[in-house]
Amino acid sequence: QVHLVESGGGLVQPGGSLRLSCAASGSIFSMGMGWYRQAPGKEREWVAAITSIYTTTYADSVKGRFTISRDNAKNTMYLQMNSLKPEDTAIYYCQTIPPTYWGQGTQVTVSS
């Protein structure tokens, strides 16, 4: 069993940047990983994914602004978020697959 803990969320002005981290309690070497987000009253939305061989994919809404990465030696995944917009406001969750584990989320608020 792997426990995931997200961190790095907070309040940022439009155009600003944040880097989210997802720290795993065990090895993520063989796992694909991804980020999802959910705003109040809305469905959970896929944001980005990175495979065990470092192939990355992004939702159209974040392409060119967000970068997903991983450091297997540190059992950590990251989401670098640049040029943030108010519509990026959400709770951000990290996920592993397979097997599927979820973190508890970290709040990102983009507001002036």
So what's the pLDDT on residue 41?
93
67-82 pLDDT tens trace: 999 999 999 999 999 9
DSSP secondary structure letter of residue 92: E
Q: How far apart are CA 91 and CA 84, in angstroms?
A: 14
Distance of CA 28 to the CA centre of its chain: 15
Exposure of 84 in the CB half-sphere (CA atoms within 13 A) = 23
How many Cβ atoms are within 10 Å of 33's Cβ, its own excluded? 24
So what's the pLDDT on residue 1?
84
Paired strand residues for 66 = 81
Residue 7 near residue 23 (C-beta atoms within 8 A): yes
